[in-house]
Structure 1
Amino acid sequence: MATTASTLPDTKALEPIRQALGRRHLLPARHYLDSGYPSADLIVASAKDYGIALVTPVLLDTSRQAKAQQGFAADDFTIDWDGKRAVCPAGISATWNDVVQEGVAKTVAAFAALDCIPCPVKEQCTSSRKGRRLSLYPRELTEAVRTARAQQQDGTWQRDYALRAGVEGAIRQATHTTGLRRARYRGLRPTSTTPPALPPSTSSDSTPGGTAAPSTAPIIATSPDSNYASPHGNWN
């Protein structure tokens, strides 16, 4: 269990936790996380650097088309990374431009207005007068997110992720029984002694293998709702 400043994002707390587990030879094969953790970078880095599969809900496509479930969302476009081509559902190819936006390497696939405006399915694709544009992260990251989104729609994945329900129940018990959401002390060092000192009935015994597990067992990260985190400390 790690105690951090309440302003530290969950994504920043994950790496120190994995390093600590690695030093004790307790890295899991699968890591169950809540929706505050996932990003394309973390999914790829976890698999590449630690051999850990993150089991966590990835944010869905927030485009207008995806939200309405009507028309062509980004995942409906075919991306040929080797040939540097993006093809829309109507079969039109876009120009491929490798760019850096706000310090992040991306690819912008721009479809010409001359192709989009007369297209018979334009209303299902874009309202722009300049044609549809796709902003893509590097191949490894884009494919990781697409795969994760597809997996989490499957019933098998959802049943597997239901393992986190035990931890959520343990968090609720701890916070409502002991007032854990508000730190009793100022500063990280004294605050960090509170969670381990909780009675056994409020510990993470409901997780498979407890708070630490062999490399073949899953491990589940816990994180109280940051909206209620104390200004002095937050535990993950």
Structure 2
Amino acid sequence: MRPEIWKPPVELSVAEQKVAKRIRKAKLFVFLRKIRHELFDPDFQRELGTIFKDSSVGLCPIAPAQLSLAIILQAYTGVSDEEAIEAIEMDRRWQLVLDCLDCEKAPFGKGTLVRFRALLIANSFDRRLIEKTIEMAQSSGEYNSRSLRVALDSSPLWGAARVEDTYNLLGHALRKALEVISQNYQQDLVTVATSAGAEVVTGTSLKAALDLDWDDPQARNLALSTILQALNSVESWVEEKTDLDHKTISQVNKSLKDARQIETQDVEETSDGSPKLRKGVAKNRRISIQDEEMRHGRKSRNKRVDGYKRHVLKDLELQMVRAVGVTPANAPEASVTPDIEEDLNSQQVIIQELQIDRAYLTSHWVKQRTPTMTIICKPWKVRNGHFFDKNAFVLDWEQHLIRCPNGVSLPFTEGSVVRFPKHECDSCPKRSQCTQSKHGRSISIHPDESLLAELRERQTSNTGRAKLRERVSVEHTLAHIGQWQGDKARYLGLRKNLFDLRRMAVVHNLHVLARMCKTNDTVGELENSTKRRISTG
């Protein structure tokens, strides 16, 4: 049965006014109470109703708008599902927003909240929540352009799962497989593991069970061989089992496949055929059994992150987050732009000005930019020791000629290397300032040299440097989102963490919307005051 349209009261009751007055810092509760009927208008509620149907027989349908508000408050306060239900029953601020003041029991349970969240994710309605906040801001007349000035940036998001070394990754995957079998047989783990020839993985510590000198390379190879033998034994034992149901076999094979993935990426054979750890790191190396999408990565040369990167695209005019993205920590920043563009397409907007840092210069937005798109970015530093750098050479884009400091010109094409003739360099009076090469000076022309030249030229003017400073705004937004979300992911996997980041963006946008409304109220009061003074003249 499809839920009915939720029609909570618009005006605050006397009891609600008392609660609202007592809220000192968490003003988003009061703001949500005042605008909930606008945020979840009948049309939007009907949209939500298409994905959610209450399956509880004999109970009144739960309004999707109520559940959506609970999910927003959950992001704002950083509580778990169980804590959210507890807050609804005990925190009058939650009750104020959800229209259940002084209730003794929450209008829905944890299972309903979990099911609704899964439906939001499956139908991408977490993205619709962001769009709805933008629509509200635009309806207020603040800004309604289809051509955007936006800034894009990222920050680290540590994974929620445990990061393990190769030995523990293999042992963890094996133990998961055996735990599923033990549940199916309703036997304890040790009994099943002993039958399968893998008792070594049943203890609280795999390395303690192996009891080896881990400083000895031979002992480490022996440990690896022992674990892989246990893996082979379990695989053979599982193949002989005919009394396991399809679901159990599927879960067991998934864990065994994970173990083989770890072996493939981390293990190699010695000359005598025994296993040893691979030197170096495999490409796209898996670092966790619990979360297969977590990766080692770096935000900078000195800052490593195990997990993900969160990306935020901010509208510089509206000051709201337009779209967000989550990528594995080892993925290039530029890889997120196709997904963010898909979000923008649903809003029917285009980018007129894109402010980024240098990590996004390889994005498809930059490579496939239209003539109407302006890229604002700090250029790469051009250094050449104490010799002339590339800035000392003049690029004539109309004639496609490059002129050296001594006036010698040569044709160039983007993506090539220009080599000045040896005899010209030998006789050049500025040679000591230009090169020590006996073959003469050479200049590499980047495949997108025209953009880099534009960026370098912009940095030389006061106006251009002021433009570059505007990108600081998106860094502040990332910091605000980080205050609510924290530096560690709440969920396992990319999609659920994208959901979490999207609802954090909703919280941010609601704060911006609250400031807009407060400003408009102040302006309205000043206008009314002026009118009263004029009328009383």
> Would you call these one fold, judging by a TM-score over 0.5?
yes
Q: Which residue of 1 aligns with 2:431?
A: 122
Q: Which residue of 2 aligns with 1:152?
A: 459
Whether the 8 Å CA contact 2:335–2:363 is kept in 1: the answer is no
Question: Which of 453, 475, 485 is 1:178 aligned to?
Answer: 485
Of all paired residues, the percent bearing the same amino acid is 21
Alignment match, 1:166 = 473
Cα deviations across residues 94-136 of structure 1 (Å, max 9, x unaligned)?
5x587xxxxxx73221112222133221111112111001121
Following superposition of structure 1 onto structure 2, how do residues 1-236 of structure 1 map, counting pairs within 5 Å? 1-39=324-362, 42-43=365-366, 45-48=368-371, 51-65=372-386, 71-80=387-396, 85-94=401-410, 106-138=415-447, 141-179=448-486, 181-198=487-504, 202-203=508-509
Structure 1 pair 145–42 and aligned structure 2 pair: CA distance change class (3 A): farther
> In 2, are the aligned partners of 1:72 and 1:125 still within 8 Å (CA)?
yes
Distance 1:161 1:119, change over 3 A: closer
| Residues 137-158 of structure 1: CA deviation (Å, up to 9, x unaligned) | 35xx222211111112322122
**C-alpha distance in 2, partners of 1:149/1:23?**
34
Structure 2 partner of 1:68: none
Alignment partners' CA distance in 2, 1:82 and 1:2: 39
In the comparison of the two structures, how many residue pairs are matched?
191
Q: Which structure dedicates a bigger proportion of its chain to helix? A: 2
C-alpha distance in 1 between matches for 2:489 and 2:424:
59
* C-alpha displacement of 1:52: 2.4
Report deviation, 1:189.
Answer: 1.6
Displacement after TM superposition at 1:31 (Å): 1.9
Letter of the 1:75 partner, please give it: N
Aligned 8 A contact 1:108 1:134 in 2: yes
TM-score, length of structure 1 as denominator length? 0.66
Q: Matched residue of 1:29: which SS?
A: strand
Contact 2:325–2:340, Cα closer than 8 Å, also in 1 = yes
Alignment gaps of 5+ in structure 2? 1-323, 517-537
Distance 2:363 2:327 in 1: 23
Provide the rounded CA distance (Å) in 2 between the counterparts of 1:40 and 1:126: 34
Counterpart Cα distance in 1 of 2:510 and 2:370:
25
Per-residue deviation at 1:190?
Answer: 1.4
Q: What is the RMSD of the two structures over their aligned residues, measured on CA atoms?
A: 3.2
Amino acid at match of 1:53: T
CA-to-aligned-CA distance 1:64-88 (integer Å, 9 cap, x gap): 35xxxxx422232234567664331
Q: Determine helix, strand or coil for the equivalent of 1:3.
A: strand
* Residues 337 and 364 in structure 2, CA contact (< 8 A), matched pair in contact too: no
Do the aligned partners of residues 132 and 10 (structure 1) sit closer, same or farther apart at CA in structure 2, a change above 3 Å counting? same
- Residue 88 of structure 1 aligns with an amino acid whose one-letter code is C
Q: Give me the whole-angstrom Cα distance separating, in 2, the residues matched to 1:2 and 1:197.
A: 12
In 2: Cα distance, 1:204 partner to 1:160 partner: 27
Q: How far apart, CA to CA, are the structure 1 residues paired with 2:373 and 2:344?
A: 12
Work out which structure has the larger RCO, using CA pairs closer than 8 Å and 6 or more positions apart in sequence.
1
Q: Counterpart of 1:111 in structure 2: which amino acid?
A: F
> Conserved in 2, the CA contact under 8 Å of 1:40 and 1:144?
no
Cα displacement (A) at 1:36: 2.3
Measure the CA separation in 1 of the matches of 2:388 and 2:510. 43
Which residue is equivalent to 1:217? none
Runs of 4 or more above 4 Å deviation: 39-42, 80-85, 199-207
Letter in 1 for 2:497: T
Q: Partner residue of 1:228?
A: none
Question: What one-letter code is carried by the residue in structure 2 that aligns with 1:144?
Answer: L
Letter of the structure 2 residue corresponding to residue 118 of structure 1? S
Moved more, 32-41 or 158-167: 32-41
